[in-house]
Amino acid sequence: MSEIVSLNQLIRTMKKSQNPMERAQAARGIGHLKDPEAVEALLEALADSDYEVRQAAIWALEQIRDEHLVDELINDLNHEDPEVRRGVAYVLGEIGDREAIDPLCNALIDDNLYVRKTAIEALASIGDWKAVDPIIARLEDEDLYVRQAAATALGEMGEMRAEEALQRVLRTEQELIVRHAIRVALARLAGGD
């Protein structure tokens, strides 16, 4: 016999359970319900200490295609917790709404490198030309993984105006993984995918 579990029960379990597997399962259950009333609780779950719970919350947010979701997510790009900001940037990239481009560009200067990196990946996923110049600026980021993500994103986006910046940075970049990402991006821009 199967039990019907209410949204409130799932939210309570996701927030209060000591068992991370139960919290993740509750988040997935919320995602299946696709109820916009759960957005705030799911945003809180983006800061959960357990990786699986955070991933389940991200998945659940992707399932909720409420017209107000993008606005709520954009507001939470300023959340005090960097894990929440990172998760929000990821979800915005998955949703792909162009309304998120400017706020994601603003997130490219976040104090947290994971937020910057995820914002770059989200912008690449959306693929709008307005993001190219802000991503080009991240080729000079202090963190090598952010620089790598910027180079990769520019190659994926296919904007030829990024070629000159990539060539310039390649001349001075010391980190091998960033140099490799730049070379791959340049090859993609040249049509050598």
What confidence tens digit (pLDDT) does each residue in 73-122 have? Answer: 999 999 999 988 999 999 999 999 999 999 999 999 999 999 999 999 99
How many CA atoms does the CB half-sphere of 129 hold within 13 Å?
Answer: 3
Find, among 21, 31, 73, the residue nearest to 51 by Cα. Answer: 21
Question: CB–CB of 62/91 below 8 Å?
Answer: yes
What confidence tens digit (pLDDT) does each residue in 17-62 have? Answer: 999 999 999 999 999 999 989 998 998 998 899 999 999 999 999 8
Name 6's Cβ contacts closer than 8 Å, sequence gap at least 6.
Answer: none
